[in-house]
């Protein structure tokens, strides 16, 4: 017994020494790497924050890469350290993630906006495209492409996000019903896998990796370059808003529009609960069709549904456009006194959310907790969802917009890693709330999180067939349920491209296996 006790003490001491040596050698081993950019080991606190402002996971180091080789060298080094190292890697774009997805506790965060490489290239021939870095912001891609009279086809509502960030999720906005999400508009990519390999991939080359990475939540590789499909860009946008008091009418009109051959170029809806003086707030930007009628409209605290529409045009087609828009609007059943419209340059329309960001930043209301909840709901269940959520659970929308609009499943590629409902048409419902710090009221973080939980519990109990967009789960079983029958493929792809689970630890899907043998 004495011998066994002595052996166990000696064994545990050796284990402690090996663990300490392993952990303490991580920073020093990174310091010896030859990279064109540089590592920061001291100024790392900013990489433990994101837009969600709820999770703070401090990394060991931040890499500021100047080249793709820097990223590959770093990941390859960690891969070669094997399971004896705890190090993981997260790619951080414009830090707009919500639940710490771009963070790496005691790992390496790669600042993708530092990535330098070949200059953005716009090809203007048949089937035009732009080649851009994975760390490039969509707003900068838009500006560059507009110089050639071109623009990407599909967008997110907010353009100050990186290419790699949105392509790792899906990239959805009001154009998705026509062009699909951003991941449906990519020709090829350059990717650094979890083994540190730099691979080009497309439909024809490394096609499994190509489809894995698109919507893959960063699990299979870091997107360092992408070739994005373009189309001719318009000069102007006719921007329209109308109101409905009945949800079924509102939803039916949206579904009619996204199925029509001749329709608007952008279609989104949002919900308004317990908001007063609504029309007066819009008049700074939008003109009412009939000012007298509009002034007499009273919301009376009703739940209203706003349909937001846009038609793109060039200035020389303004007269024909007005006739076309008039014909489209005549088919809709909105409250006639609430037709508001304006005309703005194309870039101003696409970058509209940034205007709100500037205002919120000036008031100190941007860097607050954002407990957002994004859901995909099958068309067949949307009325049931609306009755419960907008009728009982949600009592106010003053803490942030609630978006709701349908998209066509046919515009999504089921070979990608993105998870969507089993329905030909499904709705994106986005609760984009902001929490007031230190508040214990209805605008406080705990109240909003409780509200989100009630919504999720209802979806589960009612068996709506809901899927989360920008998903966040805390257990392995929840992730398996999220992917459903696609889990085996997703898991196999992880084993192929990132077998040590080095990449994107903040998603909490896979955990790096640590071995001390």
Residues annotated as catalytic (active site), given as ranges: 96, 157, 268
Of 417, 372, 453, 394, nearest to 275 (Cα)? 394
The distance from CA 278 to its chain's CA centroid, rounded to whole angstroms, is 28
18-25, Cβ contacts within 8 angstroms, sequence gap of 24 or more: 18/516, 19/516, 22/84, 22/85, 22/86, 22/516, 23/86
DSSP state of 149: T
How many other C-beta atoms are found inside a 10 Å radius of the C-beta of residue 61? 22
Q: How far apart are CA 73 and CA 386, in angstroms?
A: 50
Structure tokens at 349: 């329309």
- CB-count exposure of residue 456 (10 Å: 0-12, 13-18, 19+): middle
Q: How far apart are CA 380 and CA 474, in angstroms?
A: 29
Q: Is residue 168 within 8 Å of 401, Cβ to Cβ?
A: no
Residues 6+ apart with CB under 8 A from 4: none
Of 95, 163, 167, 94, nearest to 133 (Cα)? 163
Tell how strand 89-92 and strand 108-111 pair up: parallel
C-alpha distances in Å from residue 375, one per residue of 419, 430, 434, 470, 478:
11, 6, 17, 8, 15
Sign of CA dihedral 18, 20, 21, 26: positive
Residues 6+ apart with CB under 8 A from 326: none
Range list of β-strands (E), 135-279: 150-152, 186-193, 198-202, 221-232, 236-244, 266-272
Residues 6+ apart with CB under 8 A from 68: 115, 117, 190, 192, 198, 224, 225
Q: How far apart are CA 222 and CA 213, in angstroms?
A: 8
Tell me the three state secondary structure of residue 244: strand
In the β-sheet with 402-408, what is the strand arrangement from edge to edge? Answer: 287-288, 340-345, 236-244, 304-313, 266-272, 402-408, 425-431, 373-378, 467-468
Q: How far apart are CA 370 and CA 393, in angstroms?
A: 19
C-alpha distances in Å from residue 74, one per residue of 57, 196, 226:
20, 7, 21
């Amino acid at each position: 017994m004495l011998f066994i006790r002595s052996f166990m003490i000696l064994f545990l001491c050796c284990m402690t020494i090996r663990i300490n040596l392993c952990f303490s050698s991580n920073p020093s081993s990174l310091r010896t790497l030859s990279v064109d950019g540089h590592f920061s080991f001291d100024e790392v606190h900013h990489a433990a924050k994101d837009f969600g402002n709820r999770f703070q996971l401090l990394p060991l180091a931040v890499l500021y890469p100047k080249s793709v080789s820097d990223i590959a060298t770093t990941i390859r080094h960690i891969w070669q350290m094997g399971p004896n190292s705890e190090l993981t890697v997260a790619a951080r774009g414009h830090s707009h993630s919500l639940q710490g997805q771009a963070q790496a506790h005691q790992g390496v965060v790669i600042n993708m906006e530092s990535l330098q490489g070949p200059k953005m290239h716009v090809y203007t021939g048949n089937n035009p495209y732009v080649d851009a870095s994975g760390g490039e912001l969509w707003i900068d891609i838009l500006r560059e492409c507009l110089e050639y009279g071109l623009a990407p086809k599909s967008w997110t509502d907010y353009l100050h996000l990186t290419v790699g960030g949105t392509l790792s999720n899906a990239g959805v906005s009001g154009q998705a019903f026509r062009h699909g999400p951003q991941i449906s508009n990519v020709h090829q990519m350059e990717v650094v896998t979890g083994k540190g390999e730099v691979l080009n991939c497309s439909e024809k080359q490394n096609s499994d990796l190509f489809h894995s990475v698109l919507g893959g939540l960063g699990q299979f590789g870091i997107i360092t370059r992408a070739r994005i499909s373009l189309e001719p860009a318009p000069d102007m946008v006719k921007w329209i808003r109308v109101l409905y008091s009945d949800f079924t009418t509102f939803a039916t009109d949206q579904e009619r529009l996204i199925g029509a051959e001749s329709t608007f170029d952008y279609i989104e809806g949002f919900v308004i609960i317990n908001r007063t003086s609504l029309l007066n707030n819009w008049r700074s930007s939008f003109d009412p069709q009939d000012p007298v009628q509009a002034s007499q409209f009273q919301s009376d605290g009703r739940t209203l549904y706003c349909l937001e529409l846009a038609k793109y045009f060039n200035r020389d087609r303004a007269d024909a456009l007005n006739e076309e828009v008039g014909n489209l609007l005549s088919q809709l059943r909105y409250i006639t006194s609430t037709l508001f419209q304006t005309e703005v340059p194309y870039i101003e329309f696409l970058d509209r959310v940034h205007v709100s960001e500037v205002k919120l930043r000036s008031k100190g209301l941007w860097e607050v907790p954002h407990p957002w909840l994004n859901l995909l709901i099958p068309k067949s269940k949307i009325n049931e969802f609306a009755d419960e959520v907008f009728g009982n659970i949600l009592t106010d929308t003053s803490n942030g917009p609630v978006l709701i609009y349908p998209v066509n499943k046919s515009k999504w590629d089921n070979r990608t890693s993105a998870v969507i409902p089993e329905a030909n048409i499904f709705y994106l419902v986005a609760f984009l709330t902001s929490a007031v710090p230190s508040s214990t009221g209805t605008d406080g973080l705990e109240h909003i999180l409780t509200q989100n939980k009630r919504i999720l519990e209802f979806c589960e109990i009612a068996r709506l067939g809901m899927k989360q967009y920008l998903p966040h789960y805390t257990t392995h079983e929840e992730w398996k349920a999220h992917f459903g029958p696609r889990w085996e493929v997703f898991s196999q792809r992880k084993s192929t491209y990132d077998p040590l689970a080095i990449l994107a630890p903040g998603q909490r899907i896979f955990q790096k296996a640590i071995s001390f043998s």
